[in-house]
Amino acid sequence: MTECEVCEWMEKKQNILFEGDKVVALLHPKPSALGHIVVLPKVHATILEQVPDYVMPELFSTANKLSLTVFETLGAQGTNLLIQNGIPAGQKHSHTMLHVIPRRQNDNLPLMWQPKQGDQEKLAEIASQLAENSKRIGMFEEEPKKPKEAKEEPAEEAEEYLKKALRRRP
């Protein structure tokens, strides 16, 4: 049914390493290095901007834990956590993915760049533009509540009880 190759990877369940509520992690079928993992939002999202805010914590925490796992399991000496957001950034699939790439000394993976000398005036100028347009950061999209079923009262009672119980905490 789906036309997304990456959604198909998830459906096929090949080389799945972890499945959470909102993300799936699997071995990249065309890896850059042995143990190259991708963490995928279950919801189809072409670019990062379309991934709901409430998926982000699980996306990044999963990548972080898998990064640790490749250190411990494959003896990686470093990892890159990478999102290629948009075609100019190297994105190859129309589904957002967070890559976890195991690194070794002198593995020659071309992910390095030469730092440039920053022009202070130019930096200050774009810093103020970016800061101005970043004011809404901190307003995060909440996960929609699951549709409630008819027999709601007991759940609400339980919620009330929980609230009271939490209020009681010091």
Question: Can you give the binding site for Zn ion, defined by CB under 5 A?
Answer: 4, 6-7, 44, 95
Nearer to Zn ion by Cβ, of 7 and 59: the residue is 7
Residue with smaller CB distance to Zn ion, 51 or 70: 51
Q: CB of 101: closest distance to Zn ion in angstroms?
A: 21
CB of 88 to Zn ion, least distance (A): 20
Which residue, 78 or 90, has its beta carbon nearer to Zn ion? Answer: 90
Closest residue to Zn ion in the complex (CB): 4
**Secondary structure string (H, E, C) spanning 35-74:** CCEEEEECCCCCCHHHCCHHHHHHHHHHHHHHHHHHHHHH
Return the structure tokens found at 41: 């939002």
- The residue among 8 and 156 lying less far from Zn ion, judged by its C-beta, is 8
| Structure-token match 């290629």, residue found | 84
| Rounded-to-integer distance, Cα 27 and Cα 9, Å | 10
Question: Could you give the 3-state DSSP secondary structure of residue 152?
Answer: coil
Least distance from C-beta 67 to Zn ion, angstroms? 23
- Nearer to Zn ion by Cβ, of 6 and 25: the residue is 6
- What minimum distance in Å lies between the beta carbon of 79 and Zn ion? 24
Least distance from Zn ion to the Cβ atom of residue 95, Å: 4
